[in-house]
Amino acid sequence: MSALHAPILTVSTLSARIAGQQVVEDISFQVPSLGVTALLGRNGVGKTSTIKAILGLIERSGEVTLAGERIDGEPTHKIVTRGVGYVPEDREVFASLTVAENLRLAERDDNPRRELVEKLFPDLVARSAQLAGTLSGGQQQMVSLARALLNDNELLLVDEPTKGLAPKIVAEVAETLEEAARTVPILLVEQNLQVVRRLAAGAVVLAGGRVVHTGSAQALLADEELTKRLLGVHGGDDSNQPAPAPHASALNPEVRQ
Amino acid sequence: MSTVVLLAITGLGLGALYFLVASGLSLIYGLMGVLNFAHGSFLTLGAFAGWEIARRTGADSWVTFLLSLVLGAAVGAVMAALTEFLLVRRLYERHIEQVLVTVGLGLATVALFEGIWGTDPVFITGPAWLEQTTSIAGARIPNDRFMVIFVAVLVLLAIVAFLKFTRFGLIIRAGVENRSMVTALGIDVRKAFTLVFAVGGAAAGLGGVLASHFFGYVSPLLGGSLLIFAFIVTVIGGLGSLTGAAIASVAVALLQQFANFYAGGTGDLAVVLALAVVLLTRPSGLLGKKA
Ligand SMILES: Nc1ncnc2c1ncn2[C@@H]1O[C@H](COP(=O)(O)OP(=O)(O)OP(=O)(O)O)[C@@H](O)[C@H]1O
Ligand SMILES: [Mg+2]
C-alpha cells in the first residue's frame, strides 16, 4: 500500500540526543503521502523523541526530507512553515491564553481554515474566551488538534492524541483524525491499538531507539504473536478493548474491518 | 499622619522606578531565561541622555523634559536591542556565559560612563513645577513623585495593552509559558526576543530620566543601585510576571520606606528578609509560573 505513493517524509539514519543521552539511534523509515502511518513501540522507546527530532526540537543528526527537500538543518519554525502540523504529546496548549488566542497564535497565514475548525469543534467556539488551562483534558486535545488543522499542511505529526481520554472522546479524536487523513498524511504515535487498527495503513515499530519493524499496520495487528513481542500488549481485537462509544458506530465500517 | 502620607507617596514613587527596571528584567527572563545584569546600564545611559538634552535646550522647559523622556526611552531601547542582537543572541541556553557577558557589559559600561561623564554625581533640575511640593493631608510631597508614578502607570498600561492586543504580545505571552511550542507553531520566536529587549530597555531608559529627577542627580552608578532592588522585586513578583513585578515593586518600596523611617534605617534589611520569606514559602514568587 505505502509503495504506491511517493513518500512525503523520508527519515534516514536519524539519531537524536537529549541532555547528551542518545534517545534515537540511526533510524530510517518513510511516511507515504497519503493516509496514516503509525509509529509504535513500548513506553520510552523514543517515539516522542523521533517526532521532536524530525521537528528539530531536540539535537539531531542524519537526513530528513519533506516532499523531497532536506529539512534536517533547519530550525523548527522553518520546518513547520513548510507545512508540518504538530500535535504534541500532552497537548501543550498555552494555559494562560484563551482558546481563541491559542488558535490565533497557530494561524500561519492569512487564510486559516476557521470554518473547518469551527465545524469540527463547536465546543471550542462556545469556549473561545475561556483560558485554555481551565479546559478539560479532552477539550485541550481539541485545541491542540485545532491548532494543527487550522493550517494547510503537507504532513501532520500527532503524538498520542488519545492519551488519558474517555472512550467517547477517544472515538471523537479518532474520527477527527480519520477525517483529516483524507487530505493530509499523518504520522501518528498511538498506544490505543484499536485506534491504530481503525486509522493506520503503515506501521513503524521502535524499540530501544531503533526501528525493529516496518510494514502494514493491519498485518502487524493481525499477528498476535508479533504484536505481543513488539508492543508488549495484546493485538487489540475488540473483545479485549473497552467497548467503543456509541458515537463510533456512525463511522465508516470498512475502515474498522 | 503627614509622615505616613509622605512615606507612602515616596514609596510609591520609588516603587514606580523599581517597576520601570523590573518590568524589562521580568519579561526578558520570562521569555528567554536570560538574567540581564546589564539592565542597569540601559537606565543610566537613558538618564545621561536626558541630562545631555536638558543642558543644551534649557532644563526648566516642559518641552525639554518631554524630549528627555523620549530620548531616554529611545536610547535605552537601542542599547538593549543591540545588546540582544550582538551579544545575548549567541548565548541562548548557555546561562553561565550569559551571566558573564551581561555582568561584564554592566561593569564595562559603568567604566565607560565614568570615562565620559566623570565619577561625580551630576545634579539635575527640571521644570519649576517638578521642583515644588504639593500639600496632601499636611504632608509636603515633592511633585516629581507624582510624575514618576504617573509615567510608570502609563508604562504599565502601555505594556499590558501591547501584550494583550498585538500579535507580538501574544507571541511573548505564549513564549513566556512554553517557548519551544511557540516555535513548533511555525513562529520565529527570536524576533520577539529583540523586541522584548527593546521594550525593556525603553522602560529602563525612561526610568533613568525619571530617577535622575527623583533623586536630583545622575551618576554612572545610578542604574546599578536600582538594579539590585529591581532583581529582588522581580524574584518576589515571580520571574516572567509583569503584574507580579508591578505589585512587588510597590510592596518592596513601601516596606523599604517605612522600615527606614520607623525601624531605624533597616529598609534594605527588611527587603532582604522579605525576599527570604518569599523564597522559602513561594519559591516561584507571588505570581510566577511554577519552576
Ligand atoms: N528530557 C529528558 N531528559 C532525559 N531523558 C529523556 C528526556 N526525555 C526523554 N528522555 C528519555 O528518552 C527516551 C525516549 O523517550 P520518549 O519520550 O521519546 O519515549 P516514547 O516512546 O515517546 O515513550 P512514551 O510511550 O512513554 O511516550 C526515554 O528513555 C526517556 O527516558
Ligand atoms: Mg511519547
Cα separation, A243 vs A117, in Å, equals 28
Provide the pLDDT for residue A4.
53
- Shortest Cα distance from A30 to chain B (angstroms)? 21
Cα separation, A85 vs B194, in Å, equals 26
Cβ neighbours around A126 below 10 Å, total: 10
Q: Are B200 and B23 in contact (CB under 8 A)?
A: yes
Domain-terminating residue out of A133, A152, A171: A152
B162 found inside a domain: yes
Cα separation, B80 vs B98, in Å, equals 14
A229 and A114 in one domain?
A: no
Q: Residue A105: which of B174, B180, B188 has the nearest Cβ? A: B174
Angle at CA B233, nearest 5°, toward B227 and B237? 145
A175 and A133 in one domain?
A: no
A99 and A67 in one domain?
A: no
CATH number of the domain bearing residue A243: 3.40.50.300
CATH number of the domain bearing residue B52: 1.10.3470
- Shortest Cα distance from B283 to chain A (angstroms)? 20
Provide the pLDDT for residue A234.
65
Cα separation, B44 vs B272, in Å, equals 24
Q: Do B186 and A108 touch (CB under 8 A)?
A: yes
Domain of residue B33: give its range: 2-281
Average pLDDT over residues B146-173: 94
Q: Average pLDDT over chain A, rounded to whole?
A: 89
B287 found inside a domain: no
Domain-terminating residue out of A135, A152, A169: A152
CA dihedral B36, B41, B45, B47 (to 10 degrees): 100
A65 and A19 in one domain?
A: yes
Domain tally, chain B: 1
Q: Do A76 and B171 touch (CB under 8 A)?
A: no
Provide the pLDDT for residue A111.
87
Size of interface A-B (CB pairs under 8 A): 55
Instruction: Give this complex's ipTM.
Output: 0.86
Cβ neighbours around A75 below 10 Å, total: 15
Domain tally, chain A: 2
Q: Looking at the DSSP assignment, which residues form a beta bridge with residue B133?
A: B142
Domain of residue A123: give its range: 92-152
A113 and A12 in one domain?
A: no
Q: DSSP letters of B81-133?
A: HHIIIIIGGGGTT-HHHHHHHHHHHHHHHHHHHHHHH-SSPEE----HHHHSE
Q: Looking at the DSSP assignment, which residues form a beta bridge with residue A40?
A: A205
A252 close contact with B: CB closer than 8 A: no
CA dihedral A146, A150, A155, A161 (to 10 degrees): 0
B170 found inside a domain: yes
Using an 8 Å CB-CB cutoff, list chain A residues near B184: 55, 57, 76-77, 80, 86, 88
Task: Provide the percentage of residues in chain B whose pLDDT is more than 90.
Answer: 88
Cα separation, A84 vs A159, in Å, equals 13
The cell 456509541 sits on which residue?
A246
Question: Which of the listed residues A15, A17, A18, A90 should we mutate to test ligand 1's pocket, taking the one with most ligand atoms within 8 A of CB?
Answer: A18
A165 and A247 in one domain?
A: yes
Beta-strand pair A7-18/A59-66: antiparallel
Query: pLDDT tens for residues A131-183?
Result: 999 999 999 999 999 999 999 999 999 999 999 999 999 999 999 999 999 99
What's the farthest any 2 CA atoms get from each other in chain A?
Answer: 50
A165 and A53 in one domain?
A: yes
Q: Residues B270, B275, B279, B282: is their CA dihedral positive or negative?
A: positive
Instruction: Tell which of A54, A76, A84 to mutate to test the B interface (max B CBs under 10 Å).
Output: A76
- Comparing B11-20, B132-141, B215-224, B281-290, which segment has the lowest mean pLDDT? B281-290
A234 and A202 in one domain?
A: yes
Provide the pLDDT for residue B21.
97
A16 and A52 in one domain?
A: yes
A71 and A187 in one domain?
A: yes
A225 and A136 in one domain?
A: no
- Shortest Cα distance from A238 to chain B (angstroms)? 36
Q: Which amino acid is at B262?
A: Y
Cα separation, A31 vs A48, in Å, equals 16
The cell 514606580 sits on which residue?
B16
Q: Which of B92, B96, B104, B79 is nearest to B193 (CA)?
A: B92
Domain-terminating residue out of A104, A124, A152: A152
Q: Are A184 and A156 in contact (CB under 8 A)?
A: yes
B281 close contact with A: CB closer than 8 A: no
Does residue B291 surpass a pLDDT of 70? no
Distance from the Cα of residue A66 to its chain's centroid:
16
